[in-house]
Amino acid sequence: MGQKLPWRIVAEWITEGEACIRSVEKVYAAGVTKFQEYLIGELAGIGKSLVLDGKVQSSLFDEHWYHEALVHPIMIAHECPKNVLIIGGGEGATAREVLKHKCVEQVVMVDIDAELIELAKKYLPEWHQGAFDNEKLKLVLDDGRKFLSATDMKFDIVILDLVDPMEGGPAALLYTLEFYRLVSRVLKPGGAMVTQASSPILTPRVYATIRNTIASVFNITRPYITYVRSYNGVWGFVAASNSIDPSNLSPDTVDKLIKERIRGELRFYDGITHQWMFTLPKPIRSILDSHNDVATDSNPIYVPV
C-alpha cells in the first residue's frame, strides 16, 4: 500500500500532462482576493511559500535566485539607475533588491492587488524586509497597463515582475506588443526593461514569443535564464533596451560594479553567475530560433495550463 496523501496538497500543473504535488505542512493565510486565489503556507521541500491561483509564485527556499536574477543584471548594466518602475512584485522582494542600489532615488511600484500586498506585509517579512516602509518607495495601487498609459513619469529601468500570462488572469495582456510599446514610452533615453518570461523548457513557445514580441519594440533584446526549484526547473527572463547590452559585461566588471554600487548582501548574483545566465545552452537557443510568433492584444500568448 502506498503512503497516504496529506489532507491538504498543492497540485500544480506544469505542462498539460505533468503536475508537481507538494504537501501543505502549515497554513498562515488562504482565501481569494478580488483578483486571485492565494495560499501562504509551509510547503514540503521548499518551505514558506506564496501560491497564487494554484501556482507557486515564490518560496523562501530560493526566492533570491529569482529576484536577484530579475533585478541586478539590468540594474548593473545601466550607468546609474535613479528612477525605477516595478510593475507587479507584490511580495516586496523585487523592491528590496532594487533598493540595494546606491544610485536609486525613487522606486515606483504598481500592483493591482491591494489585499495581496497587505497580506505580504503581514505574512512575508522575509521577502520585503521592510521595503514597503522605505521612503524611496512609492506604492501605486493600479492596473499596470493603465498606469503606463496615463503617467507622464519617465524611468531609467522598468522591471516587470508579473504572474504568467494566463487566459482570464490579471497579466493576460501584459506580454503583448502594445504593452511593450507602452513600456518603451516611459523609459528615459538610455533606459532599459526586464521581464520574467516563463520557462524555456516547460513552456518554450511562450518564452520564445515573449522574446520575439519584445524584440519587435527594442533594438537590443537579451534572453537569459536561471534555475528555480520552486518553479520546477529552468526559468527565463528577457532584458531589453535601445542602447544597453547586459550580456557584454565581463565577470570582473560585474563584481567591480557590485562592490561600488550595491549595499547589502547578495546571496545568488555575482560576476560568474551573470555570465552563466546569459550563456544559453544549445537546446534553448534552438527553441528561440524555431519560433517567430509575436503576441498582440488581439492574439495574446497564454501558458497552456
Beta bridge mates, 138: 108
Give the CA angle between residues 261, 90, 264 to the nearest 5°.
Answer: 25
SS (H, E, C) 133-145: HCCCEEEEECCHH
How many other C-beta atoms can be found within 10 angstroms of the C-beta atom of residue 52?
A: 22
Q: Is 161 a catalytic residue?
A: yes
Residues 187 and 193: beta-carbon distance below 8 Å: yes
DSSP H or E stretch at residue 99: none
Beta bridge mates, 161: 88
The span from the CA of 159 to the CA of 8, in Å, is: 35
The span from the CA of 300 to the CA of 70, in Å, is: 23
Residues 210 and 301: beta-carbon distance below 8 Å: yes
How many other C-beta atoms can be found within 10 angstroms of the C-beta atom of residue 273?
A: 18
Q: Which of 161, 164, 270, 289 is catalytic?
A: 161
The span from the CA of 214 to the CA of 222, in Å, is: 10
In the chain, alpha helices (H): 63-77, 93-98, 114-123, 125-128, 144-150, 177-185, 204-215, 251-261, 271-278, 282-289
The span from the CA of 207 to the CA of 198, in Å, is: 6
* Neighbouring residues of 123: CB distance < 8 A, sequence distance ≥ 6: 28, 29, 40
The span from the CA of 270 to the CA of 257, in Å, is: 10
Residues 229 and 62: beta-carbon distance below 8 Å: yes
Active site residues: 161
